[in-house]
Structure 1
Amino acid sequence: MNRLVLISGCSGGGKSTLIAEFAARGHATVEEPGRRIVKQELEGDGAALPWVDMAAFARRAIEMTMADHKAAREQSGWTFFDRGLIDAAAAHQHLTGEPILEKLGAAHRYHQRVFLTPPWPEIYTTDPERRHGFDEAVAEYDRLAAVYPTLGYDVVTLPKIVVADRANFILDCLSPETRQQ
């Protein structure tokens, strides 16, 4: 069984908070590639920052998510990803028109169920790593919500509830025996 669980969706929808909850419960987690890239780029020359060169940023995200996916396959138990390869490939394809999404998506599968955080304006904020506005976040969400089913994933939209309940909801959707933590 594929135990690589992807949490995607709207920027500012609570993905990182949810990933922290899973980590606190002892599950393996993978931090959002975009935030890691921005941190690295801010310490370096900044050439692949999303507000400088979005295509370069997306290429870096694809490379990083492929490495994350490979490393996570070695883990036992559930591994929860804050975004993943599909998000990076969808962004790259949207920007460049290069049809890479299906090829990459087929070669690097996640668990059949993908969980999307919906747009949630009440909790949305910008910060030094997330400079884009809410409208841009919603447009990205709409693209992702349309892409995942075309790649054969079952999309589950997460309810707007407190983080512990959201984590329980995901674990319940995956299988009852995962509620051990």
Structure 2
Amino acid sequence: MQQPSRAAVLSGRSGGGKSTVLERLASRGFPPVDEPGRRVVRHELRVGGQALPWLDGPGFAQHCIDEALADLVGHDNGQWVFFDRGLVDANTALRHYAGSSWCSVDELQSYHQRVFLTLPWRELYVGDDEWQLGFGDAVGEYSRLLGAYDELGYTITVLPRVSVTERTDRIFTELGFV
């Protein structure tokens, strides 16, 4: 019998407190895998590329899929690892921008059964050079992600708007760490 995946996903759009939770997880010995979308945007801005969500959504999403697939292969060592978003998020973006899906269901179901989503939180939402989309876009993306993870049969825990300690403790409890 195959062991369940220890690749846990923390998903949700910018402005949900994801980064703060991931920093707390790292301080407890679980360094995260950085978000593919941020890495793609940083690279494209550095090289003057066009695969940016506000210029070429499908190209951006495809690059994110490539990054997320590489992340999964690079972290298949049996240890718990927390992904700041991942393949399902990238594939959901491609479906949104291009109306098509690139990944197989098996690939999309590579993560631990339980996924964690952060709600868009207006008070935390801050746009920057890397994310030039508004809060309304974050809310729309959150809805698409919730639907995608549900369609794939994941058990979804929506992290409430509480302290970072309470959110982190909830993750540990749900995964059976405590």
1:86 corresponding residue in structure 2: 88
Q: Aligned AA for 2:93?
A: A
- The alignment partner of 1:40 has SS state of helix
- Post-superposition shift, 1:41? 1.1
- The alignment partner of 1:51 has SS state of coil
- Post-superposition shift, 1:107? 2.3
- The alignment partner of 1:141 has SS state of helix
- The alignment partner of 1:34 has SS state of helix
- The answer for unaligned runs of 5 or more in structure 1 is none
Contact 1:11 1:137 in 2 (8 A): yes
Deviations along 1:145-173, one digit per CA (max 9) or x if unpaired, are 11111101011100111212211110110
Deviations along 1:88-120, one digit per CA (max 9) or x if unpaired, are 00110121112335x1x4225100001010121
Regions of 4+ moved over 4 Å: none
Deviates more, 1:11-20 or 1:77-86: 11-20
Contact 1:46 1:52 in 2 (8 A): no
Contact 1:33 1:83 in 2 (8 A): yes
Q: Aligned AA for 1:122?
A: E
With the length of structure 2 as denominator, give the TM-score of the two structures: 0.92
Q: Size of the alignment, in residue pairs? A: 174
2:161 corresponding residue in structure 1: 160
- The answer for unaligned runs of 5 or more in structure 2 is none
CA RMSD of aligned residues (A): 1.3
With the length of structure 1 as denominator, give the TM-score of the two structures: 0.91
CA distance in 2, matches of 1:55, 1:142: 19
Deviations along 1:109-147, one digit per CA (max 9) or x if unpaired, are 100001010121111111111111000100000111111
1:64 corresponding residue in structure 2: 67
The answer to which structure has the higher helix fraction is 1
CA distance in 2, matches of 1:37, 1:99: 19
Deviates more, 1:76-85 or 1:58-67: 76-85
